[in-house]
Amino acid sequence: MLSTRDIVHIALFAAIMAALGLMPPVPVGFVPVPITAQSMGVMLAGAILGAKRGALAIVLFLALVAIGLPLLSGGRGGLGVFFGPTAGFLVSWPIGAFVTGWLTERFWKRLNFGYLLAACAAGGIFVVYVIGIIGLSLIAGLPLEKAAAGSITFIPGDLIKVVIAAFVAKTVNRSYPVIRA
């Protein structure tokens, strides 16, 4: 059952996802792919709101994209993004947020930077890549290993996002804890 507080948290975090998409990508010296803040938002949703609310916030955000709002980074949006070869990565986001949130809740009593890193990596990288690669292989008709080989070139950039997300989540959870608050 969702309380009014849960509803407001879910809605506002979906709006945070949109705002993160408007932040200009930050180029990082040694990685060719610039950091877009949005996929970091997936880990943050889980690590700050917890499994259920975090996943629902991302579902709500994707619903806003699907109904035609250009909220994905780079101003993309609409139903079209859910039918292209990279749709699996988008669909994986709520599940990734759920896993990060679930782990964060499990670790809550002894939560430190290391546990947050693990939770963010499990949800934000492992889950997202497994589902994304399966989707890519199905939609683009590629063998799994080729789809995987093409996708893992993005992992270095995402590892940086994991570190930033864990740091942001740690700081926010210390100053304004939402999970079990």
Residue 126 CB, nearest approach to other proteins (Å): 22
What is the C-alpha separation between 22 and 36, in angstroms, rounded?
9
Binder of other proteins out of 44, 58, 122, 133 (CB under 8 A): 44
DSSP annotation of 102: H
Q: Is residue 64 close enough to count as binding other proteins by CB under 8 A? A: yes
46's CB contacts (< 8 A; 6+ apart) are 54, 55, 96, 97, 98, 99, 100, 101, 102, 104, 119, 120, 123
Q: Is residue 16 close enough to count as binding other proteins by CB under 8 A? A: yes
Q: Is residue 180 close enough to count as binding other proteins by CB under 8 A? A: no
Residue 81 CB, nearest approach to other proteins (Å): 8
Binder of other proteins out of 32, 69, 106, 113 (CB under 8 A): 69
Residue 130 CB, nearest approach to other proteins (Å): 20
Q: Are 131 and 88 in contact (CB under 8 A)?
A: yes
Q: Is residue 140 close enough to count as binding other proteins by CB under 8 A? A: yes
Our CA angle for 46, 109, 54, nearest 5°, is 10
Residue 148 CB, nearest approach to other proteins (Å): 13
CA dihedral angle for residue 48, residue 180, residue 59, residue 106, rounded to 10 degrees: 80
DSSP annotation of 72: B
Note the residues at the interface with other proteins (CB under 8 A).
1-2, 4-5, 7-16, 18-20, 22-23, 26, 35, 37, 40, 44, 48, 60-61, 63-64, 66-71, 76-80, 82-86, 139-143, 146, 150, 164, 167-168, 171-172, 175-176, 178
